[in-house]
Amino acid sequence: MTTHAPGVTERYLLSPDMIADPYGHLDALRDHAPVHWSPLHHAWLVTGHDQVMRCLRDPAVSADRVRPLMDAVPQGAREDAERAFGILSRWMVFNDPPRHRRLRQVFQEAFAARAVARYRAFTEKATRAVLARKAVPGRTGDLLADVARPLPALVFARWLGIPPADGPSFWYWNTRVADLVLGTAQEESEYRASLQALVSLDDYLGALVARRRATPGDDLISQVLREGRVGDSVSEEEFTGMLTQMAFAGGETTSNLIANTVLALHTRPGQLAAVRADPELARGAVEETLRLDGPSKMSIRTAARDLDLDGRALRAGDRIFLVTAAANRDPARFPDPGRFDVRRSGATHLGFGFGAHFCIGAALARLVAVAAVRTLVCDHPGLTLAGPGRPAWQPSLLNRALTALPVRY
């Protein structure tokens, strides 16, 4: 299916070729129509950096998209949905100010860079342990399954205070919740499993909060409880609901960031050599991946009221796709935007969002991703990509996530 924007033929963003490589089309759309109404997607596609920034700053552009998620649930699964969507309504990412600000403040100190730095030694130890088990020289494997998924899971479970024995159930629930939130659930049975997983995750974390009240530990939940805001500025129900968001977002985003960065470096020998010569450039590699081929392609918003954007009249209720994957390649903002450069400096990318909704877990995601990339690149010089053909990507409107990354260690 195609429709026409000025100077460009629109493509369906979930078609196989767009899943494989959306960037040429998104660049053309941004250059010809940075604010474009898409009949195919029943939404405005905002692709210019300046236009995306204006939307992220404008209170007329709302982050509340729980209702569209609920509307996508098949009728037969609706009976299971009421409590699950009540939990989603407490996620910070789906709330606007002032409620968003009130919810976020509860976690502000725990997510500050200085607080996250306490986990550096544990992260580096966990990275070495995972690689010692999986990255055996000469062995072939899937770097996504071997390293990129289990490493963030280890760190985030430690950070949240999840007992190791509970790990398998905890991460199963998170995987199913991702199917719901990212739109990969299709069949009624898949929706039912995802909705039940969200309820189970909420129940589990609620019980864990009660245990940490009785027996505090050295973890995120205990730290926030010690600060005294739970039961004061937020209810315990709101706190537990937000923890389900933390559990979902942390592992998924960081896993994809690690895998995408390794792929980016191993398809650019000059950049790979630069990081090996100067391991501190692993940070630059992670930042360039966030800009050029990061784990998030877009975020979805709704017009809370009528507004004008670049001379286009957006009406209350219109869906808006803020396509950061295009904005991060805008030549008006980034010199030579298609070039992957681990030494790039200057303009700040939108890989973690901007403003009130800037990703609260960015510091922890960066800590884990940089540790993994630096160790893989510098301590495993024999690592090479394996497998025939181009890598396969998950069919998601929102995420840029590999299905696997075959490698030889």
DSSP per residue, 356-400: GGS-TTHHHHHHHHHHHHHHHHHH-TT-EE-SSSSPPB---SSB-
Query: Which parts of the chain have pLDDT scores under 70?
Result: 1-6, 77, 79-80
Helices and strands of the chain, counted as H and E runs? 19, 12
Helix (H) or strand (E) holding 152: helix 150-160
- Structure confidence at residue 101 (pLDDT): 94
pLDDT score, position 181: 83
Q: What distances in angstroms separate CA 12 from CA 2, 45, 328, one per listed residue?
A: 7, 12, 20
| CA–CA dist 32, 382 (Å, integer) | 44
First to last CA, the chain: 42
| pLDDT at res. 126 | 93
Round to whole Å and give the CA distance between 219 and 107: 12
pLDDT at 80: 65
Residue 178's pLDDT is what?
A: 85
Q: Give residue 6's pLDDT.
A: 65
Domain boundaries, the chain: 2-408
* Cα separation, 61 vs 98, whole angstroms: 14
CA distance to 55, 189, 332, 338, per residue, from 322 (Å): 8, 30, 17, 19
**Closest among 7, 5, 34, 29 to 18, alpha carbons compared:** 29
The class level of CATH for 2-408 reads mainly alpha
Model pLDDT, residue 187: 84
| Token code pair at residue 337 | 């935007």
Q: What is the pTM of this model?
A: 0.93
Residue 5: its pLDDT value, please? 65
